[in-house]
Structure 1
Amino acid sequence: MNIVQRKKLWFSISCAIILLGAILAFTRNLNYGIDFTGGTLMEINVKKYVESSEIRSITDEIDSSATITHIGENRHVVQIRTTNDLDNEGRTKIFDKFKEKYNLTDEDLLRSEQFGPAIGREIRNKALISILIATIGMLIYISIRFELSYGISAIVALVHDVLVVLSIYSIFRIPINSPFVAAILTVVGYSINDTIVVFDRIRENIKITNKKDYANIANNSIKQTVSRSINTSLTTLIAIVALYVLGVESIKDFTLPLIVGILTGTYSSIFIASPVWVLLKEKGNI
């Protein structure tokens, strides 16, 4: 399969996903979670461990995106965070349902309050600055180790990965919370690995062939490294998917963007980075 020759197909797929995500983000906004929006916080002692799904049968009536966390030594205390800014009457109504279902008393409502966003503009700006600094650092490193065309191609693939993850979250209305920001920073560091492996093989093959048939060199390099890229990503995904399936909700909030980011990073290292490098080499002296 000539991957580079079909670059228009791969670029079209990525552009379609990013464009759809951007349109939906502008028309209905991203689904910011409670860390960005603020909301309501309640802590209720139900006196036994109760599955999150059972708790959600009550909270979904008010906010389907509410975050459920079990706290305390025996995990008998349920912490509920909702994006809806509930007044005292609304919070009392929720507790009354718990009170009736689990035979609780007024003393079992340990905490009930409204709270502001945990992630403000300053933290969001710092996250963006961190990504920008990491991107510039990678561009400099790759340009020194290889050459500028490799660096530009790698950054294009990196930006592609971040935009695709954001688009997936926009399309499926997945809440964006603080774990998402941490996961994106992790994806930025992780997704460059497969691309570097392919570029290293391209550099070796250029030395061997000493030809300027960039498309053929890139295609052969991809074929020689594709099994390594897939196997590496697959073993990582197995561990992360296990954490997602077996972990608590706070772990799922972190692992979900990692899963999407690793899949996207594997795709971009094969179908985006190398074709972009070929375009740069064929169009100019970069």
Structure 2
Amino acid sequence: MAFRKVPEPSYDKDVNKILKKYIRARELIIMELLRLVETGGDKTRVNQQASLLRQVDFIIKDLDGSVQTTIEEGILSNFKEGQAVLAYSVGDYKTLSEATENVAFSMLSRSTIDTILSDTFDDLLAATALTSKRTKRIVRRVVQEQMKNDMARARGRKIMKKGILEELTKQGLSKSIKEEGFVGIVDRKGRKWELNRYVDMVVRSKYKQARVEGMRIKALEEGYDLAVISTHGAKDACRNYEGMIISMNGTTPGYPTYSELRASNKIFHPNCKHTLYPIRSEEVLTDEELRQSEKQLSNFKKS
């Protein structure tokens, strides 16, 4: 039987659908802030601040719930596809659609899916919790600066800080919320990840992980283990692994395992394009494919 390659799907549509939810949440918060800025009177503004802080909580909570539902569907779909890809690639079914129709989740499958979902939600909830905290800080700062501005005007004075007035415009508020509020994480080097960029990375990596885990669980259950790493002409460290035969679950001696390679962060890292092509055995590969794998394995063992 020939070597069946099933390319990894594009996640752009799903990622963009999720990102739109975050963009909408950001716009809602900016709209509420603008109403606050346009309101006059210290007492009214303080009351509206309290209301807006509650509204931020509501917007973020609604965002988390909506994203969670979409993520659950996406991870389940990708895990199921991974299982179908394994069954089709090793020749158990004639078509991928036929393999998909016959996918059945085992206890191990459900446990693995639950773990991926839990990890994904932990990452995203931590990011939105930070966003909520930083956004509320901006709300309090805006209220304080607006009250100072009102007081100065009442006394016939002008605030000299041009930056403060600029921040209280729609453009200024949008910039503050984006750069200071909607921060996904702050990494160990102190770098801020914009929330949209962070969510993009998390969703893509978790969807890919779900697909690979679907393959690995199915392979373990059906008695298969070998796979070939896809080739994309990579320029980074990934190029040293393209075309290499690996062990998906560590049951075949002499081959590096998927878990080992993923832990190295040299391949299968976030945003990595590489996937696995499961095979029944080395016999389905051409002489050229075998030579490529042997070359990569030889270099890997020397490193």
Task: Give 1 or 2 for the bigger CA radius of gyration.
Answer: 2
Same fold? TM cut 0.5: no
Give the structure, 1 or 2, with the largest relative contact order (CA under 8 Å, sep 6 or more): 1
* TM-score, normalisation: structure 1: 0.30
* TM-score, normalisation: structure 2: 0.29
